[in-house]
Chain A
Amino acid sequence: MADELIKPDELLSQIDHRPSGAGWMDTPVDIRKGMYCYASNPKSVETLGLPNARPWNPLEDDWKLPENWQQIVHDGFRERLDKFRSFKVFMDICVRCGACADKCHFFIGTGDPKNMPVLRAELLRSVYRNDFTTAGKILGRLGGARPMTLDVLKEWWYYLFQCTECRRCSVFCPYGIDTAEITIMGREILNLLGLNIDWIATPVANCYRTGNHLGIQPHAFKDMLDFFVDDIEEVTGVRVQPAYMEKGADILFITPSGDVFADPGTYTCMGYMLLFHYLKEKYGLKITWSTYASEGGNFGFFTSHETMKRLNSKMYAEARRLGVKWILGGECGHMWRVISQYMDTMNGPADFLEEPVNPITGTKFENAKSTKMVHIAEFTADLIKHGKLDLDPSRNDNKIITFHDSCNPSRGMGMLDEPRYVIQNVANHFYEMPANTIREQTFCCGSGAGLNAGENMELRMAGGFPRANAVKYVHETFGVNMLACVCAIDRAALPASMGYWVPEVEVTGLHELVANALIMPGEKERETDLRGEPLPGMEE
């Protein structure tokens, strides 16, 4: 896949023109347009107080690294080996059996061998052997070791930002080696040299200052929700009244800011607002929003453990300040990996909150006893199970739905059946994609872990192809026209992917479907769904 033109004789002769069998270490990195994201804006790096803020360009030879960058990498590596058993064990025990090789959506889609999870990890392991193992020091290349050079560093950067930390490979690894963990450590080390991408660094800086990735200031956040209030009234005739930072509310609600801002997440956001209004009117439940903690997502997770903790701290801090009983979380992927596997450990214990109980059904959310944060799909499933919502699923009848399991809620949490239960109760047409593309084997949208920028569209499309291909199958077989998901990055990224691969399929969040079916007290006869599309039977 090189750039040079094909020579006519090469084309006409039937010579096997496969690339020679040079080892992967001898295949230099080729940073290609469309596959990488722009370098981080120095201002964002500075806002966070992270090292080596300066303008730089991945395509240039000089990356403007600090003088002693090799030492920084070495020390950073050593520190993480001591701090994370996962990292150390994963560096040591891989037997290179190849079970993971063809499980990565980026390998499947791009065909680049260095996107095989095992090779992505070997990029780091080769340096680990050279720096930290006796065998590597003695045997050198023969022992799979190589010193850290500028080319190796560029290779790290290029391929560590071609991994969406989706963990699909770790499902198939006989030792549970998790490439996400390796990518996380690698990116942390790169951040020590100021080598981040702007699509991550700037949202992180925004989130730190304004409370959300998009940098929406508090008044603008409220403006956005006010828009939705008008839109909702137009569709349903009901004027909802979201509460902001209401002290003494029962529940604090936090969702990714993408839902507030980007279509089609906005319809999901309207869905939340309708549901909360319904619960307030019918059962007196008080749920509040916050502009301070207005981001569920956490791009800090794609920067370093420390940055993740800094951004995440706002959730508990705001819940404590407002004196709510517990926290309800919106539909988001990596947000739930952070909440499920990191938040309580980093910023807990949340002993100032109550063990979450659904006051309407009396259900104790035993599985969230310590974190005190419940996923809205769990919450809604519980409400439906107890018959607390008036639903008219036929209002979703023109939607033939399939469900995309987002990587993190499936492989970092295990929330698989709750959203399916909700969909099947708010809609009548639901079809599953093939078994090796859903649940714990789900394919990533191709844009996770901070890679949903515009400039790397080719990478996103190639990485999103395995997912899109399965959607295409259910589209052609069952006429599926709606891809449901519980992740804001999915809602931002999958429309582009569908637009390219299966243009007839649209993307929706779970609670958009819920709100379409939800019969609000005092609503007018609805003629359209939340998108303004006519309801079944209402077409002209």
Chain B
Amino acid sequence: MNKNYMVSLIAVIVLFLIAYVGTQQGAGLQLVFGIIVPYLAVSLFVVGFARRVMGWSRSAVPFRITTTCGQQSSMPWIKQAKIDNPSSTLGVIVRMFLEIVCFRSLFRNTRMKLNGGTRLTYQLELFLWIGALAFHYAFFAVVVRHLRFFTEPVPFFVTLTEQVDGFMRMEVLYDAVQAGLPGVYMSGLVLLAAALYLFLRRVFIPQVRTISLAADFFPLFLIMGIALSGIFMRYFAKVDIVAIKALTMGLVTFRPTIPEGVSGLFFAHLFLVSILLAYFPFSKLMHLGGVFLSPTRNMTGNTRQVRHVNPWNYPVKVHTYDEYEDDFREKMIEAGLPVVKMPEEQA
């Protein structure tokens, strides 16, 4: 199984080096890595994502196969689990919201212990849930923060995110060592740590190692690579932010330029992001879109109350009552069961 993550790791390193070396003095591929690749990647992402979602939407939803995780809507005196077994659209919306925003199903992992004979205690098994939440929210915060590079003026929510995210200031901690270091963003570090955790559990938990594919390791390494190069640029390499913003603003305003003084590290960072975008629609990362379309979660559980229509429902061959009676008429009469046709009428 080592092959799966070694190949992925090597792939990410090679990708990084290609962009880094390719944009050094002399190679002169800044145009490729600064403009062509990002545009290509974004187009692939948008088109690929849309095609994937449309592909799913094209498939029919013949039955309402909600997973009911609580008491159904029944008689008025029985309390319904309105979120876990929703019978209204509102219930479904709340259920989906909690699923997408809080990863509620993962949270369901409870564990019990027998304490001293027969007393039961319950506890939650939280590691995967916390790891997944940390990973996704950190990722989200990082994306929001990066909007700074694509907007002018910078919208308030981006600034707000930065402030909240950067509440911990490293000057305080390392005052003597590196005065004037920029505020430390939690999100970047959390993202890196969470990605590392998700990676390690794939390596060390045998169950998860067995099920892991290269396609599970590659995006993790890619994201680690992006986070690492980003962190390095911000805190250590001190790249030229003004030049970078000129480049990114050029991209979004469709007046692309390659300003002087943009470092190879940035091009490598941008290249890995481009790879992530381009890879996204063809990978499991599409769970971002798919979770909205999961038929066991996004439908009401009241199929007995409101009929669901199957677009491809077709007639099937059945064994009708008349055929049945023809098969068994004599025996039915003998047993005193009612029949529709008496035997003499048959002829």
Task: For B210, list chain A residues within 8 Å (CB).
Answer: 23-24, 113, 116, 119
Q: Report whether A341 and B63 are in contact in the complex, using a CB–CB cutoff of 8 Å.
A: yes
* Complex: A434 Cα to B121 Cα, angstroms: 10
Task: For B309, list chain A residues within 8 Å (CB).
Answer: 345
Q: Can you list 7 A-B contacts (CB < 8 A)?
A: A98-B208, A99-B105, A247-B338, A317-B321, A367-B304, A370-B304, A440-B84
* Min CB gap A131→B, angstroms: 15
Nearest-neighbor residue (CB-CB) of A305 within chain B: B62
Task: For A381, list chain B residues within 8 Å (CB).
Answer: 75, 78
Task: For A414, list chain B residues within 8 Å (CB).
Answer: 68-72, 81, 85, 301
Nearest-neighbor residue (CB-CB) of B325 within chain A: A292
Of B29-37, B151-159, B224-232, B290-298, the segment with at least 4 beta carbons within 8 Å of chain A is: B290-298
* Complex: A97 Cα to B334 Cα, angstroms: 62
Q: Report whether A93 and B216 are in contact in the complex, using a CB–CB cutoff of 8 Å.
A: no
Given pairs A245-B337, A318-B321, 17 additional interface contacts (CB within 8 A): A23-B1, A49-B317, A85-B59, A85-B293, A101-B207, A143-B214, A171-B105, A208-B319, A219-B332, A222-B335, A292-B325, A346-B310, A366-B305, A367-B87, A370-B303, A385-B75, A417-B78
* Min CB gap A441→B, angstroms: 8
Of B178-186, B234-242, B262-270, B280-288, the segment with at least 4 beta carbons within 8 Å of chain A is: B280-288
* Complex: A87 Cα to B208 Cα, angstroms: 23
Known: A340-B304, A345-B307. A418 touches B207 (CB 8 A): no
Known: A83-B62, A306-B316. A349 touches B211 (CB 8 A): no
Interface residue? A368 (CB, 8 A) = yes
Task: For B336, list chain A residues within 8 Å (CB).
Answer: 222
Of B108-116, B138-146, B168-176, B243-251, the segment with at least 4 beta carbons within 8 Å of chain A is: B108-116
Q: Report whether B286 and A173 are in contact in the complex, using a CB–CB cutoff of 8 Å.
A: no
* Complex: A472 Cα to B39 Cα, angstroms: 63
Q: Mark B44-79, 1 if CB is under 8 A from A, else 0.
A: 000000001001111111111111111111110111
* Min CB gap A219→B, angstroms: 4
Interface residue? A81 (CB, 8 A) = yes
* Complex: A21 Cα to B210 Cα, angstroms: 8
Q: Report whether A89 and B295 are in contact in the complex, using a CB–CB cutoff of 8 Å.
A: yes
Q: Report whether A175 and B109 are in contact in the complex, using a CB–CB cutoff of 8 Å.
A: no
User: Interface range on chain B: under 10, 10 to 19, 20 to 34, or 35 or more?
Assistant: 35 or more
Q: List A residues 107-161 near B (Cβ within 8 Å).
A: 113, 116, 118-119, 122, 133-135, 139, 142-144
**Secondary structure type dominating chain A contacts:** helix
Q: List A residues 327-377 near B (Cβ within 8 Å).
A: 339-342, 344-346, 348-349, 363, 365-371, 373
Task: For A418, list chain B residues within 8 Å (CB).
Answer: 74, 78
Interface residue? A209 (CB, 8 A) = yes
* Min CB gap B205→A, angstroms: 7
- Of the residues A119, A134, A318, A341, contact of B66 by C-beta under 8 Å: A341
Q: Report whether A96 and B106 are in contact in the complex, using a CB–CB cutoff of 8 Å.
A: no
Interface residue? B302 (CB, 8 A) = yes
* Complex: A92 Cα to B280 Cα, angstroms: 12
Task: For B130, list chain A residues within 8 Å (CB).
Answer: none
Q: Report whether B105 and A218 are in contact in the complex, using a CB–CB cutoff of 8 Å.
A: no
Q: Report whether A89 and B294 are in contact in the complex, using a CB–CB cutoff of 8 Å.
A: yes
Interface residue? A63 (CB, 8 A) = no
Task: For A339, list chain B residues within 8 Å (CB).
Answer: 304
* Complex: A135 Cα to B215 Cα, angstroms: 10
Interface residue? A500 (CB, 8 A) = no
Task: For A135, list chain B residues within 8 Å (CB).
Answer: 215, 282-283
- Of the residues B71, B75, B321, contact of A416 by C-beta under 8 Å: B71
